[in-house]
C-alpha cells in the first residue's frame, strides 16, 4: 500500500514538474525591472502636498516653511504635468503621422493597382 | 507510514535541489518553461513538507512508539494536544517545522498574484530554495524525523514537563514564523542586489513581509516570556538568557529597518543601510539558531545535544559571506542616495537617531551574549554576563528609544522649526511633569522609575495629541463628526496610524517593564494555619493536599488571600510529580489585577505539613501582555490591504541656490 502510494506521489510530482518543460511556446520572461524608486509621479507629489497640508494644520510646519514647500511641490507638479502633456502630444503627433503614412501607403497601393489595370 | 515520511523528506530534498538549479538555468537562458517547472517543483516541495508534518503529527498523536522521535518525546498518557506539540520538542521535529514554514513562504512568494510576471520571482525563489536545501540536508542526514527503532518500546520517554504548558503550544510556532519570515525579505534583498536594481515594488513587498515577520517575532518572544513567568517559577518573564537575546537581536534590527525604510521611500536615502539591516537581521536569526542548537552557552533552551550547531555555523558563515560579496560587488552600482538630511529637526533625523539607538542596542545585547565565549577563548574561563549587565545597559537605551518615539510623531518630514517643536511639546511635557510630580507625591522615591514613567507618559501623550490634531485637521476640511473623522484618518493612513498603535503597545509594555523595579519577594516556611504577610496581602496557609491527574501526582497548597482585610479568594500553587519524568515541576499560582500580580510558588514541605513558599508581588506585569496584544493589533492594522494610502509622498532634495 505504502509502496503504491509512494509511486503515485513520485509520478504526480514528476508530472507537475515535467509538464511545463514540454510546452512548445516559450512565453518570454517579462522585461527587466526598472529602478523607479527615484521617479516621482504626479500622484506622489499630490500625496506630498496632501501631507504638507496635514502637517501644517497639525502645527508641525511653520506658515513660512509650509508656503515655501507648497510652492516648491506645486511647481514640481506643474513641471510633471507639462512633461506629461508634451509626451502625450508627441504621442498624438506621431500617431497621426503613423496613420497618415499608412493612408499614403494604402493610397499608393491602390494607385499602383489602378495603374497596372 | 515511515516509508511515505522518508519519501517526503528525500523527494523534497531532490526537488528543492532541482528547483534551485532549474530556476538558475531559467534565468540564465531566459526560458519561462524552466522557471515554470521550478515553480511547480517549489509547490511540490511545500506539499512534501506538509505530508512530512502530517505524518509526524499522526505518529505523535496515535503514539506510534516504533518511531524514535515519538518514543523520545511523548508517552501514551500525554494529553493529545501535548502529544502533537511534541513535534517541536526535539531537533528533528522543530527543524521540520522550520522547513515547513520556509517551503510555505516560498510557495506563497512564487504563486503570489503580486509576484506574477515579476522578473525577481525566480531569483527570490532560488535564494529561498538554497535555504530549503540546507534544512533538507539536515533533515535527511543529521536530524532525521522518521527513524524506526529496532524494538518497539512499551512506553515512550515522555515530554519534558516544562514544555507541557499552553504557552509552549504557541511560543515555538510564532517564533519560527518570525524567524523564517525574515528569510523572505532577505531573499528579496539579495535578489534585488543580484539584478542590480531596487524598485518601488521591491520596497513594498519587503516591508510587508518584514512587518509580518516582526509581528510573529514579537509574539514569539512575549509568549515565551509568559511561559517563563507562569511555568519556571522564578518570578520574572525575561532573564536575558542567550537564546532570548538571540531572538531579541533580529527584533531590534528589524525594528530599525521598518523605520529607516520610510526614509528611503520618501527621500531616496539609506539604500545600502536598509539592505544591510535586512541581511544582518537574517544572519542574526541563523546565529540564534546556532546558539540554540549548539549548546555553546548555558541556556534554559537545552536542545544542545547534537552537532547541529556546527552545521548552522557553517551555513551562517556561507550565507553571510555570500550576502556580503553580493552587497560589496553591487555597492557602486546601486544608485546613489538622491536625498539628504536638511534639518536636524525633521522626522528623518529622528528616524536616524532611532536607528542608531536600535543598532547600538543590538550590539550591546550581542556583546553581552557572546562575551562568555570570547572570555573563554581568550582567558580560558567562562565569565557569565548576568542580568544586571543587561539591565544597566539596556534601561537607558530603552528610555532613549521611548523618548525618540515621543518626539518623532510631532515633527514633520524635511524640516520643523524649534517654535513648532516647542508648541507641540509644551502640553505633553507639562502633563508628564504632572505625572512625575504625582508619582513623587504618592511616595515613589526611586529616580529611575520616576523618570521612566515620565518619559512613557510623555510618549503616550504626544501620540494622543497626534491623533487629536489629525482628527482636528481633517475636520477642518471635511467637517465630519469626530469618530467619523478618526475612522477615515486612520483608514487612509494605515501605516502611520498602525505604527502609532504599535507605539501605544510598546508604551504599555514599557509600563510593565518599569514596574518590575518595584517587585517585592519573601520566602517563608509556615506551619499549617500560619500566615505570610507581604505588602498589603495576608496569605493564610490552610492545608496541603494531593490529587492525581493520569499518572501524575500533584501536591498543592490551599492558601486564603486577603488584601487590606478584604477577602480576595484562594490560590493553589502546585508541584507536579510526573509518572514518566524524574524532575517535578512548579505550577505558579498568580492572582492578578492590572495593578499587580500576587505570585505564589510552593517551594518545599515537611512531613509535619510545614511548607515553604516564595511569594512575590509583581506590579504592573499584566501591562506587558496587554501591550503585546495592542502591538499585534497595530501591526495587523498597518499591513491590512486597503484601497487607500498606497501612494507614498515623495520629498525631493533641498533647493540649493548654488551648484
Q: What is the pLDDT of residues B240-257, one digit of tens each?
A: 888 888 889 999 999 999
Indicate the range of B84-98, B409-423, B535-549 predicted with least confidence: B409-423
Is residue B24's pLDDT more than 50? yes
Q: What is the mean pLDDT of residues B341-367?
A: 88
- The verdict on residue A29 lying in a domain is no
Contacts of A17 in chain B (CB under 8 A): 15, 18, 37, 40-41, 44
Contact B237, B226 (CB under 8 A): yes
Contacts of A36 in chain B (CB under 8 A): 199-200
> Which residues 34-73 in chain B show a CB within 8 A of chain A?
34-37, 39-41, 43-44, 48, 51
φ and ψ at B613, to 5 degrees?
-120, 145
Q: Is the ipTM of this complex over 0.90?
A: no
Test mutation, B200, B411, B485, B644, chain A, max A CBs within 10 A: B200
B475 touches chain A (CB under 8 A): no
B603-637 pLDDT, tens per residue?
999 988 899 999 999 999 999 999 999 999 999 99
What's the confidence (pLDDT) of residue A112? 66
Q: Among B33, B44, B466, select the one facing A21 at the smallest CB separation.
A: B33
The residue of chain B with its CA nearest to that of A76 is B652
What's the confidence (pLDDT) of residue A92? 60
Contact B573, B600 (CB under 8 A): yes
Contact between chains at A17 and B41 (C-beta distance less than 8 A): yes
B11 touches chain A (CB under 8 A): yes
Contact between chains at A72 and B37 (C-beta distance less than 8 A): no
- Show me where the domains of chain B are located: 1-159, 196-396, 397-517, 520-621
Give percent of chain B with pLDDT exceeding 90: 56
Q: Nearest CA of chain A to the CA of B3: how many Å? A: 7
pTM for this prediction: 0.88
Confidence of residue B306 (pLDDT cuts 50, 70, 90): low
Contact between chains at A61 and B416 (C-beta distance less than 8 A): yes
Is residue B303's pLDDT more than 70? no
Confidence of residue B111 (pLDDT cuts 50, 70, 90): very high
- The verdict on residue A37 lying in a domain is no
Test mutation, B651, B654, B657, chain A, max A CBs within 10 A: B651
Q: What is the pairing mode between strands B531-534 and B520-526?
A: unpaired
Q: Among B11, B415, B649, select the one facing A48 at the smallest CB separation.
A: B649
What's the confidence (pLDDT) of residue A23? 82
Q: Among B4, B48, B652, select the one facing A76 at the smallest CB separation.
A: B652
Q: Among B37, B120, B411, select the one facing A60 at the smallest CB separation.
A: B411
The residue of chain A with its CA nearest to that of B120 is A33
Q: Among B7, B200, B474, select the one facing A36 at the smallest CB separation.
A: B200
Contact B246, B291 (CB under 8 A): yes
Q: Which grid coordinates belong to A58? A: 497639525
Q: What is the mean pLDDT of residues B536-562?
A: 91
- Give the separation between CA B21 and CA B492, rounded to whole angstroms: 44
Q: Among A16, A19, A62, select the one facing B419 at the smallest CB separation.
A: A62
Q: Nearest CA of chain B to the CA of A87: how many Å? A: 22
DSSP symbols for B33-53: HHHHHHHHHHHHHHHHHHHHH
Q: What is the mean pLDDT of residues B557-570?
A: 93
What's the confidence (pLDDT) of residue B652? 72
Is residue B297's pLDDT more than 70? no
B220-229 pLDDT, tens per residue?
999 999 988 9
CB atoms within 10 A of CB B576: 18
What's the confidence (pLDDT) of residue A54? 85
B329 touches chain A (CB under 8 A): no
B272 touches chain A (CB under 8 A): no
The residue of chain A with its CA nearest to that of B19 is A17
Is residue B335's pLDDT more than 70? no
- The verdict on residue A28 lying in a domain is no
Contact B624, B237 (CB under 8 A): yes
Structural domain total, chain A:
1
B182: helix, strand or coil: coil
Contact between chains at B119 and A33 (C-beta distance less than 8 A): yes
> Which residues 399-418 in chain B show a CB within 8 A of chain A?
410-417
CB atoms within 10 A of CB B289: 25
Test mutation, A17, A40, A57, chain B, max B CBs within 10 A: A17
Q: Among A28, A35, A47, select the one facing B197 at the smallest CB separation.
A: A35
The residue of chain B with its CA nearest to that of A34 is B199
- Give the separation between CA B414 and CA A20, rounded to whole angstroms: 51
Mean pLDDT over each residue of chain B, to the nearest integer: 88
Contacts of B651 in chain A (CB under 8 A): 48
H/E stretch holding B615 reads: strand B611-619
Q: What is the mean pLDDT of residues B360-382?
A: 85
Q: Which grid coordinates belong to B250? A: 533580529
Q: Nearest CA of chain A to the CA of B37: how many Å? A: 5
Is residue B559's pLDDT more than 80? yes
B184 touches chain A (CB under 8 A): no
Give the Å distances, CA to CA, from B173 to A20, B169, B176, B181, B350: 35, 7, 5, 12, 34
B160-210 pLDDT, tens per residue?
887 888 888 899 899 999 999 999 999 999 998 898 877 778 888 888 899
Confidence of residue B476 (pLDDT cuts 50, 70, 90): confident
Contact between chains at A35 and B335 (C-beta distance less than 8 A): yes
B567: helix, strand or coil: strand
Contacts of B41 in chain A (CB under 8 A): 16-17
Residues whose CB is less than 8 angstroms from the CB of residue B390 and which lie 6 or more positions away in sequence, other chains included: B240, B364, B365, B368
Test mutation, B8, B201, B417, B647, chain A, max A CBs within 10 A: B647
Contact between chains at B647 and A29 (C-beta distance less than 8 A): no
DSSP annotation of B230 reads I
Contact between chains at A47 and B36 (C-beta distance less than 8 A): no
Contacts of A28 in chain B (CB under 8 A): 30, 32
Contact between chains at B37 and A6 (C-beta distance less than 8 A): no
Is residue B263's pLDDT more than 80? yes
Residue by residue, pLDDT tens for chain A (117 residues) are 888 999 999 999 999 999 888 887 766 656 666 666 667 778 888 888 888 888 888 888 888 888 888 888 888 888 888 887 787 766 666 666 777 677 777 677 766 665 544
B31-89 pLDDT, tens per residue?
889 999 999 999 999 999 999 999 999 999 999 999 999 999 998 888 899 999 999 98
> Which residues 538-597 in chain B show a CB within 8 A of chain A?
none
B441-453 pLDDT, tens per residue?
988 888 888 999 9
Q: Among A20, A44, A52, select the one facing B36 at the smallest CB separation.
A: A20
- The verdict on residue A95 lying in a domain is yes
Determine the structural domain holding residue A19 and report its residue range. Answer: 1-23+42-114
- The verdict on residue A49 lying in a domain is yes
Contact between chains at B15 and A13 (C-beta distance less than 8 A): yes
Indicate the range of B121-135, B285-299, B400-414 predicted with least confidence: B285-299
Q: What is the mean pLDDT of residues B493-510?
A: 94
DSSP annotation of A109 reads H
The residue of chain A with its CA nearest to that of B419 is A62
What's the confidence (pLDDT) of residue B346? 82
DSSP symbols for B477-495: HH---HHHHHHHHHHHTHH
Q: Among B26, B412, B470, select the one facing A61 at the smallest CB separation.
A: B412
Contact B105, B124 (CB under 8 A): no
Contact between chains at B412 and A55 (C-beta distance less than 8 A): yes
What's the confidence (pLDDT) of residue A31? 60
Q: Among B119, B200, B476, select the one facing A37 at the smallest CB separation.
A: B200
Confidence of residue B9 (pLDDT cuts 50, 70, 90): very high
Contact between chains at B413 and A51 (C-beta distance less than 8 A): yes
What's the confidence (pLDDT) of residue B383? 74
B654 or B516, which is more confident? B516
Contact B408, B351 (CB under 8 A): yes
- The verdict on residue A34 lying in a domain is no
Amino acid at each position: 500500500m505504502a509502496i503504491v502510494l509512494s509511486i503515485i506521489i513520485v509520478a504526480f510530482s514528476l508530472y507537475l514538474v515535467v509538464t511545463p518543460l514540454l510546452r512548445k511556446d516559450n512565453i518570454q520572461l517579462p522585461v527587466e525591472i526598472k529602478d523607479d524608486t527615484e521617479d516621482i509621479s504626479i500622484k506622489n507629489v499630490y500625496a506630498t502636498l496632501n501631507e504638507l497640508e496635514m502637517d501644517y494644520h497639525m502645527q508641525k510646519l511653520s506658515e513660512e516653511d509650509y508656503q515655501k514647500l507648497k510652492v516648491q511641490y506645486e511647481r514640481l507638479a506643474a513641471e510633471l504635468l507639462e512633461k506629461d502633456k508634451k509626451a502625450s502630444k508627441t504621442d498624438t503627433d506621431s500617431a497621426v503621422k503613423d496613420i497618415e503614412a499608412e493612408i499614403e501607403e494604402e493610397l499608393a497601393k491602390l494607385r499602383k493597382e489602378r495603374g497596372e489595370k | 507510514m515511515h516509508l511515505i515520511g522518508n519519501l517526503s523528506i528525500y523527494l523534497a530534498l531532490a526537488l528543492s535541489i532541482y528547483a534551485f538549479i532549474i530556476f538558475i538555468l531559467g534565468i540564465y537562458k531566459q526560458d519561462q518553461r524552466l522557471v515554470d517547472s521550478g515553480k511547480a517543483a517549489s509547490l511540490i516541495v511545500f506539499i512534501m513538507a506538509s505530508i512530512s508534518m502530517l505524518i509526524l503529527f499522526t505518529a505523535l498523536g496515535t503514539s506510534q512508539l516504533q518511531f524514535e522521535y515519538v518514543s523520545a518525546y511523548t508517552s501514551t498518557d500525554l494529553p493529545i494536544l501535548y502529544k502533537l506539540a511534541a513535534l517541536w520538542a526535539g531537533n528533528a521535529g522543530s527543524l521540520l517545522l522550520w522547513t515547513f514554514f520556509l517551503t510555505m513562504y516560498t510557495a506563497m512568494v512564487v504563486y503570489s498574484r503580486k509576484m506574477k510576471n515579476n522578473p525577481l520571482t525566480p531569483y527570490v525563489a532560488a535564494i529561498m530554495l538554497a535555504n530549503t536545501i540546507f534544512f533538507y540536508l539536515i533533515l535527511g542526514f543529521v536530524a532525521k524525523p522518521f527513524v524506526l527503532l529496532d524494538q518497539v518500546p512499551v512506553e515512550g520517554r515522555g515530554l519534558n514537563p516544562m514544555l507541557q504548558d499552553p504557552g509552549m503550544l504557541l511560543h515555538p510556532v510564532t517564533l519560527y514564523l518570525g524567524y523564517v519570515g525574515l528569510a523572505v525579505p532577505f531573499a528579496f534583498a539579495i535578489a534585488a542586489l543580484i539584478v542590480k536594481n531596487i524598485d518601488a515594488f521591491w520596497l513594498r513587498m519587503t516591508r510587508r513581509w518584514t512587518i509580518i515577520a516582526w509581528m510573529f517575532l514579537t509574539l514569539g518572544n512575549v509568549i515565551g516570556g509568559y511561559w517563563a513567568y507562569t511555568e519556571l517559577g522564578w518570578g520574572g518573564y525575561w532573564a536575558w538568557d542567550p537564546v532570548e537575546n538571540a531572538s531579541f537581536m533580529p527584533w531590534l534590527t528589524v525594528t530599525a529597518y521598518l523605520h529607516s525604510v520610510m526614509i528611503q521611500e520618501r527621500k531616496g536615502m539609506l539604500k545600502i543601510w536598509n539592505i544591510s539591516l535586512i541581511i544582518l537581521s537574517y544572519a542574526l536569526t541563523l546565529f540564534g539558531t546556532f546558539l540554540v542548537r549548539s549548546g555553546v552557552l548555558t541556556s534554559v533552551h537545552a536542545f544542545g545535544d547534537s552537532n547541529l550547531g556546527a552545521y548552522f555555523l557553517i551555513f551562517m558563515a556561507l550565507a553571510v559571506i555570500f550576502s556580503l560579496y553580493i552587497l560589496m560587488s553591487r555597492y557602486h552600482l546601486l544608485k546613489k542616495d538622491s536625498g539628504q538630511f536638511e534639518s536636524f529637526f525633521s522626522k528623518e533625523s529622528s528616524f536616524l537617531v532611532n536607528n542608531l539607538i536600535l543598532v547600538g542596542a543590538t550590539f550591546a545585547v550581542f556583546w553581552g551574549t557572546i562575551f562568555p565565549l570570547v572570555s573563554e577563548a581568550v582567558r580560558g574561563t567562562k565569565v557569565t554576563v548576568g542580568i544586571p549587565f543587561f539591565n544597566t545597559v539596556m534601561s537607558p537605551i530603552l528610555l532613549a528609544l521611548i523618548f525618540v518615539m515621543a518626539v518623532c510623531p510631532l515633527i514633520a518630514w524635511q524640516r520643523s522649526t524649534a517654535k513648532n517643536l516647542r508648541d507641540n511639546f509644551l502640553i505633553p511635557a507639562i502633563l508628564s511633569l504632572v505625572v512625575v510630580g504625582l508619582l513623587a507625591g504618592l511616595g515613589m522615591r526611586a529616580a529611575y522609575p520616576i523618570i521612566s514613567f515620565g518619559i512613557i507618559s510623555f510618549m503616550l501623550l504626544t501620540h494622543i495629541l497626534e491623533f487629536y490634531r489629525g482628527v482636528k485637521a481633517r475636520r477642518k476640511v471635511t467637517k465630519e463628526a469626530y469618530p467619523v473623522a478618526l475612522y477615515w484618518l486612520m483608514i487612509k493612513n494605515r501605516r502611520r496610524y498602525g505604527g502609532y498603535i504599535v507605539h501605544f503597545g510598546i508604551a504599555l509594555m514599557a509600563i510593565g517593564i518599569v514596574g518590575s523595579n518595584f517587585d517585592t519577594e519573601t520566602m517563608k516556611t509556615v506551619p499549617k494555619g500560619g500566615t505570610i504577610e507581604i505588602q498589603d496581602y495576608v496569605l493564610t496557609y490552610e492545608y496541603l493536599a494531593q490529587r492525581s491527574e493520569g499518572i501524575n501526582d500533584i501536591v498543592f497548597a490551599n492558601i486564603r488571600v486577603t488584601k487590606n482585610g478584604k477577602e480576595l479568594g484562594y490560590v493553589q500553587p502546585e508541584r507536579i510529580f510526573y509518572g514518566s519524568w524524574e524532575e517535578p515541576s512548579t505550577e505558579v499560582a498568580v492572582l492578578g489585577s492590572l495593578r499587580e500580580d500576587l505570585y505564589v510558588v510552593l517551594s518545599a514541605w515537611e512531613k509535619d505539613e510545614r511548607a515553604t513558599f516564595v511569594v512575590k508581588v509583581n506590579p504592573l506585569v499584566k501591562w506587558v501582555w496587554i501591550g503585546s496584544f495592542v502591538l499585534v493589533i497595530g501591526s495587523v492594522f498597518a499591513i491590512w490591504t486597503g484601497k487607500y494610502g498606497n501612494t507614498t509622498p515623495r520629498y525631493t532634495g533641498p533647493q540649493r541656490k548654488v551648484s
